[in-house]
Amino acid sequence: MSEVFHNGIVAAIATYAAVNIGRILWPGNDSSLGLKNWFHNQNVDIKYWKNKVCFITGASSGIGEALAILIAKSGGTVIACARRKEKLNQIANMVKDCDGKIIPHKLDVTNISEDDFKTFLQLNIISKFGKLDICVLNAGRGALGLAENLNMDNVKSLYELNVFSVIMQTKALIPVLKKQSNKANIVITSSLVGVLPNPGETLYTSSKHAIHGFFNALRPEVSEFANVLLVCPGPVSTEFGENRISGAVDGTEKGRKKSIYVSAERCAQLYAIAIQEIESKGHTEVWLAKNPFLLFAYLARYTPHLFAYVFKSVAKGMLPKE
């Protein structure tokens, strides 16, 4: 009887593993959200976003722009921030006839003090709307090149934007969110390189690992009044790659098929679904990418030794050519 029971348990585990691997590899799968729910809801819940007040940095292009537009079209109010005010005005104009709205603000997160940022939040959000539901810390920049070619000024510049400014904003947000009656969501645009090592992007990869360490440690500190969600996109069709700090002539994205990229609009849709499911599904980290990147992320997280063996054979082909 015990042998039959043992074999049954082994078979059940093997079946469960095989089914989930199949779901990861299923054609068209482009996120880790599906594993939380067999029949995953692929739709943005307009009822959830109605009258939500959202703050988004890096909203003038890419994922930030697409997410701001999606939220406004779903009935939310977006305080959209970036350095390019003219671009923000154009985006706001695109949703002027929608139920929600985008309010543009010129803001350089690397050139504002903590006190001034607190004042910004108070004057432009809390005083006007009485609450802040969702904070999307999305501003960031990439960097391409081998570690031996790193310029230390570039290292400091990238960390100022990708790490230090994010920590500063979070520190300023905490007392604001603490006073609210509603539980807020702090959402950070990280990257799949925060899960996967990416040769040729050592600087960028290290900045995202720093972000993961900070927010995973922060989550229990703020759990009484805020949820913390790390969103990790893989390759996305945006101008992000064009704005990277470059230390090499030829990049890791050269020769990649367009079919492996997730569109900014699709990324924003998955981003919004992840946010609206924070409470119901308990999301703390989600991955937005197509295969093989999604599969590699699962291997790296759950079978690190197997991943190390597989990755060793493909890593050299990922290096940028100088």
Tens digit of each residue's pLDDT, the chain (322 residues): 566 555 445 444 444 344 445 445 444 566 777 655 544 557 888 899 999 999 999 999 999 999 999 999 999 999 999 999 999 999 999 999 999 999 999 999 999 999 999 999 999 999 999 999 999 999 999 888 888 999 999 999 999 999 999 999 999 999 999 999 999 999 999 999 999 888 889 999 999 999 999 999 999 999 999 999 999 999 887 665 555 665 543 444 544 556 688 899 999 999 999 999 998 889 999 999 988 888 889 999 999 998 888 888 777 766 666 5
Distance in angstroms (rounded) separating the CA atoms of residues 70 and 49 = 10
Distance in angstroms (rounded) separating the CA atoms of residues 182 and 275 = 15
Distance in angstroms (rounded) separating the CA atoms of residues 126 and 115 = 15
What DSSP element (H or E) covers 296? helix 293-302
User: With contact defined as beta carbons under 8 Å apart, do 94 and 265 qualify?
Assistant: no
Distance in angstroms (rounded) separating the CA atoms of residues 200 and 212 = 20
What is the residue type of 233? P
Give the pLDDT of residue 260: 81
Give the pLDDT of residue 172: 97
Give the pLDDT of residue 237: 79
pTM for this prediction: 0.86
Give the pLDDT of residue 23: 46
Distance in angstroms (rounded) separating the CA atoms of residues 201 and 198 = 6
Q: Give residue limits of the domains in the chain.
A: 43-246+257-315
Give the pLDDT of residue 251: 44
Give the pLDDT of residue 3: 62
**Token duo for residue 183:** 């539980």
Please report where in the chains the tokens 């937005």 appear, as a residue.
Answer: 288
User: With contact defined as beta carbons under 8 Å apart, do 155 and 168 qualify?
Assistant: no
CATH superfamily of 43-246+257-315: NAD(P)-binding Rossmann-like Domain (3.40.50.720)
Catalytic residue numbers read 204
Cis previous bond, 292, omega within 30: yes
